[in-house]
Amino acid sequence: AQSVAQPEDQVNVAEGNPLTVKCTYSVSGNPYLFWYVQYPNRGLQFLLKYITGDNLVKGSYGFEAEFNKSQTSFHLKKPSALVSDSALYFCAELSGGYQKVTFGTGTKLQVIP
Amino acid sequence: GAVVSQHPSRVICKSGTSVKIECRSLDFQATTMFWYRQFPKQSLMLMATSNEGSKATYEQGVEKDKFLINHASLTLSTLTVTSAHPEDSSFYICSTNPSGANVLTFGAGSRLTVL
C-alpha cells in the first residue's frame, strides 16, 4: 500500500501568488517525510525533509512544508511562486531498515507568468 | 555536497541489444545504490537495491535476468538492460543515501529508447 499520496496531478498558480502542493501520508508512528523536485529529463533534487522537531520545515529555494499529525499531511508551500518553480514535485517517505524511499505519484506545478 | 554521476544521459538502441547504465559516486562511498524506473508522467518505481560486494535485492515483479545490477566497488553501480525491447524504453534513475544524511542523492537519469 502506498504510504504517501499526492491528490493533485497538476497545480496551476499565477506568478507571485502563494502555492501549495498537497501530500498526505498513511504510515503509522513517526514518519520521515521528504519533498523532491524534478525538472524535465533530470534526476530529482532534494528540497526539504521532516524527521522530528518543529512541524514547519524550511527548505531550498524558499519552499517550506508543514507536518500536521492530526491531518496526516505534509503540504509543500511557498509564499510567492516563480515561473522557474514550474516542475514536477514528489512527496516521499523513508521506511525500512534498508532506507527504502517510497514516492508519491507526483504533482506537476505550472506557474503562469 | 554529494554528487552522483550517471551515464549515459540518453541512449538509443536496437531491439535485442544490451545497454549498460553507470552510476558513480564522485566524492563519497556508496555502499547502497537504488535503481528507479520512471514512466512518462508517472512516479518513480523502485526496481532494485544494489549493495557493494553482494547480490542486488529486486522488487517484486522486476526481472532479475532482464535488469542486471552490479555493484562491484564502493563508487560504481551499473544497470544493464539485456535484450532490450521497446517496452523497456523509459527513464532510469539511480540514487544513493550518503552516510548519515537520510537524504537521497540522485543521478541525472538515463533516457533509454529502444527501437
Cβ within 8 Å, pair A103-B44: yes
Chain A residue at shortest CA distance from B57? A98
Q: What is the largest CA-CA distance in chain B?
A: 42
- pLDDT tens-place string over residues A13-25: 999 999 999 999 9
Q: By C-alpha distance, which of A13, A38, A26 is closest to A112?
A: A13
Cβ within 8 Å, pair B32-A99: yes
CA B101 from centre of chain: 20
Residue A3 CA to residue A49 CA, distance in Å, equals: 16
- pLDDT tens-place string over residues A40-76: 878 889 999 998 888 999 999 999 999 999 999 999 9
- pLDDT tens-place string over residues B5-53: 999 999 999 999 999 999 999 988 888 899 999 987 778 899 999 988 8
Between the alpha carbon of residue B112 and those of residues B4, B8, B14, B38, the distances in Å are: 19, 9, 11, 11
Q: Compute the nearest-CA separation of A57 from chain B (Å).
A: 15
- CB under 8 Å to A19, separation ≥6 — which residues? A11, A13, A77, A78, A81, A85, A109, A111
Q: Compute the nearest-CA separation of A55 from chain B (Å).
A: 18
Say yes or no to pLDDT of A32 above 80.
yes
Chain B residues with beta carbon closer than 8 angstroms to that of A42: 108-109
Chain A residues with beta carbon closer than 8 angstroms to that of B93: 43-44
